[in-house]
Amino acid sequence: MRETWSDDGGASAARVERLLDLTPAAASLRAYRDAVWRDAATDPLLLELCRQRLGRLLGLDPRGMKPHPLAVAAGLTPELLDELPRWPTSSRFSERQRAALEFAEQWLLDPSGMTDEHCARLRAALGDQPCAAFTMGLALVEALLRFELALATCLEDDA
């Protein structure tokens, strides 16, 4: 059975948006998020692959994780997302994508365990400007995944 996004996968995202509306910082957060995804140095497919991987590791149901439209426009398919748990060995992923997914997993699990080699592989794969955009993107998508998960319990009646 396919594990990737379903047609109603946007419900959770809409709920997050309603929660964000509770803070005066919502507009500036959305502007920052939009800037990250649309930045010329951001590869939206790469960032979405990492978002999906982090979401699954943190406990989100992948069927509720609607991908960013820019990632879909860049070629993200349900078949590729189905293959995501097998990224270290699957031939569907490029070396560049593997370097980013490796970095993202280490980032999630233990950033202090990041090695010179992890960082060197990512820099070699992306370059310095895309590394800066990717790092800001990774930080933001993880933050919003954690936000979504934690507030599903705390504020289930407020969105």
Partner 1 sequence: MSARSPRIAPPPGKRTFLEHRPHLFAAFNRFYGTLWSHGVLDQPTKEVARLRNARVTGCGICRNLRFAGAREAGLTEELVDEIRDGFEDGALPERLKVVLRFVDVLLGPAPGEVDAALAARLRAELSPAEIVELALTTTIAQGFSKAAVAWGPAPDIPLTVVPTPRPEGTVV
106 in contact with partner 1 (CB under 8 A): yes
Alpha helices in the chain (DSSP H): 10-20, 26-38, 44-58, 69-73, 78-82, 95-109, 116-126, 128-154
Report the residue from 24, 75, 89, 91 that binds partner 1 according to the rule CB under 8 A. 24
Q: Output the smallest distance, CB 20 to partner 1, in A.
A: 7
31 in contact with partner 1 (CB under 8 A): yes
112 in contact with partner 1 (CB under 8 A): yes
| Contact set for partner 1, span 44-73 (CB under 8 A) | 58-60
131 in contact with partner 1 (CB under 8 A): yes
Task: Select from 39, 3, 40, 24 the least CA-distant residue to 140.
Answer: 39
Q: Between 76 and 138, whose beta carbon lies closer to partner 1?
A: 138
For 115, the 3-state DSSP assignment is: coil
* Residue 149 to residues 40, 56, 63, Cα–Cα distance (Å): 30, 11, 14
Cβ neighbourhood burial of 67 (10 Å; 0-12, 13-18, 19+)? buried
Report the residue from 5, 15, 39, 44 that binds partner 1 according to the rule CB under 8 A. 39
Q: Between 78 and 114, whose beta carbon lies closer to partner 1?
A: 114
144 in contact with partner 1 (CB under 8 A): yes
Distance (Å, rounded) from C-alpha 47 to C-alpha 104? 10
Contact 5, 67 (CB under 8 A): yes
Q: Between 29 and 74, whose beta carbon lies closer to partner 1?
A: 29
Token pair 């594990």 is found at: 3
Residues lying near partner 1 in the complex (CB under 8 A)? 19-20, 22-25, 28-29, 31-32, 35-36, 39, 41, 58-60, 103, 106-107, 111-112, 114, 116, 118-120, 123, 128-129, 131-133, 135-136, 138-140, 142-147, 149-155, 158
